[in-house]
């Protein structure tokens, strides 16, 4: 049978991780040479901790899958050891032998093919006690779409781009209330973020229902107080400055979700001091972000996709903390909800989804 050379081009790993179990390999009968190269750009921020840029993501293992056609199951696979990965990341790349009838290739990292049934709580970057969950940095699942091998002369080439199978929501920023136009009346002396929560998410990737915890009108199993600790972050006095200036953030991994009203909810608890109005003084309250747009005037976003970070900067809400009775003031945030997930104040945020790299999210009502 005729042999040909295939070169596997640079793979843009957004975060590369390890497989704990070595899958069964199918031994090829006739093979052809493959040159494999991998690259791993840094990711910048992490939930209420040091930026991920201070940690170098490493590739410890992955699996290649071989196909005769793109729409059928792979007929063979190859496990890449840590040594294989190290060579693949070098300038020379890794020389492999693949079955000679291979026309398509894909790649999985961190046992991504066994993702079904995995609990999203195990993918959060903070442990329940607030410590850094190192396991998350090593276990985020990655998959690359099935890609064809293309031939030029005596060589063949395929480019794979493994993508994170989770979406990530990052929240940070300082709310600095603005005076109300036109008389420059300021209704809030300050607004301080106390806690950030992620609600209304899928517990498993294949789940048909969402985990929605509410203080009122919920079953005992989904009472607000039972929202898992890894889906909430306290913004303390010690980390508030870093939270406000983008050095740290509250972040949550979520499975891909679809539906305008079925996306994760980000709930913000604030302490605020009212200067004027019916209830002057220092109070606490909540507001809920549960709808998203990609641009002003666009339709509501209908999905959060795996391999994307959705970055929410609360500072964009600063000029919205103002008098809601003046028709000239435009959009307004009213933080007086005393219970989370009430219907009084729901916000829409503007986002620009890109691949697993930091991106801006501008909150709007």
pLDDT at 37: 53
Q: How confident is the model at residue 330 (pLDDT cuts 50, 70, 90)?
A: very low
Strands 31-39 and 5-12: parallel
pLDDT at 71: 86
What proportion of the chain, given as a percentage, has pLDDT over 90?
12
DSSP single-letter state for residue 47:
B
pLDDT at 56: 33
Give residue-wise pLDDT tens across range 186-234. 677 889 999 999 999 999 988 889 999 987 666 788 989 899 988 998 8
Instruction: Tell me which of 25-39, 77-91, 292-306 is least confident.
Output: 25-39
From the candidate CATH numbers 2.60.40, 1.10.10, 3.90.550, 2.40.160, the one assigned to the domain spanning 167-364: 2.60.40
DSSP single-letter state for residue 297:
T
Answer whether 0.75 is exceeded by the pTM.
no
**Backbone φ and ψ of 92, nearest 5°:** -80, -20
**Backbone φ and ψ of 272, nearest 5°:** -140, 150
Place of tokens 């999210």: 361
pLDDT at 205: 86
List, in sequence order, every residue forming a beta bridge with 335; answer none if it has no partner. Answer: none
Residues 6+ apart with CB under 8 A from 185: 179, 276, 323
Q: Is the pLDDT of residue 87 over 80?
A: no
Domain with CATH 2.60.40 in the chain: 167-364
* Enclosing H/E stretch for 39: strand 31-39
Give residue-wise pLDDT tens across range 249-264. 888 889 999 887 788 9
């Amino acid at each position: 049978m005729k042999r040909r050379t295939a070169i596997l081009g640079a793979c843009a790993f957004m975060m590369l991780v390890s497989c704990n179990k070595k899958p069964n390999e199918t031994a090829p009968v006739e093979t052809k040479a493959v040159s494999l190269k991998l690259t791993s750009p840094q990711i910048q921020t992490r939930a209420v901790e040091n930026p991920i840029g201070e940690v170098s993501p490493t590739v410890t293992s992955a699996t290649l899958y071989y196909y005769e056609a793109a729409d059928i199951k792979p007929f063979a696979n190859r496990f890449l050891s840590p040594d294989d990965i190290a060579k693949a990341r070098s300038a020379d790349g890794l020389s492999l032998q693949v079955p000679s009838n291979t026309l398509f290739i894909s790649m999985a990292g961190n046992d991504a093919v066994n993702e079904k049934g995995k609990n999203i709580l195990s993918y959060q970057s903070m442990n329940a006690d607030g410590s850094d969950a190192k396991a998350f940095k090593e276990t985020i699942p990655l998959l690359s779409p099935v890609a064809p091998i293309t031939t030029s002369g005596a060589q063949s080439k395929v480019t794979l781009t493994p993508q994170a199978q989770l979406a990530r929501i990052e929240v940070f920023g300082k709310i600095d209330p603005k005076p109300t136009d036109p008389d420059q009346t300021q209704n809030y002396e300050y607004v301080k973020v106390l806690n950030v929560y992620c609600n209304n998410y899928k517990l498993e990737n294949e789940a048909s229902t969402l985990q929605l915890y509410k203080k009122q009108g919920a079953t005992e199993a989904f009472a607000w107080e039972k929202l898992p600790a890894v889906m909430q972050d306290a913004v303390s006095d010690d980390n508030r400055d870093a939270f406000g200036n983008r050095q740290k953030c509250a972040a949550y991994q979520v499975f891909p979700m679809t539906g305008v009203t079925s996306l994760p909810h980000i709930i913000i608890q604030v302490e605020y001091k009212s200067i004027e109005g019916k209830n002057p003084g220092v109070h606490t309250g909540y507001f809920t972000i549960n709808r998203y747009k990609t641009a002003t005037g666009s339709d509501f976003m209908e999905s959060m996709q795996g391999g994307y970070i959705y970055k929410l900067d609360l500072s964009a809400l600063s000029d919205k903390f103002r008098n809601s009775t003046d028709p000239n003031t435009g959009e307004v945030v009213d933080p007086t909800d005393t219970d989370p997930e009430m219907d009084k104040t729901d916000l829409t945020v503007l986002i620009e989804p890109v691949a697993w790299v930091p991106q801006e999210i501008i909150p709007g009502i």
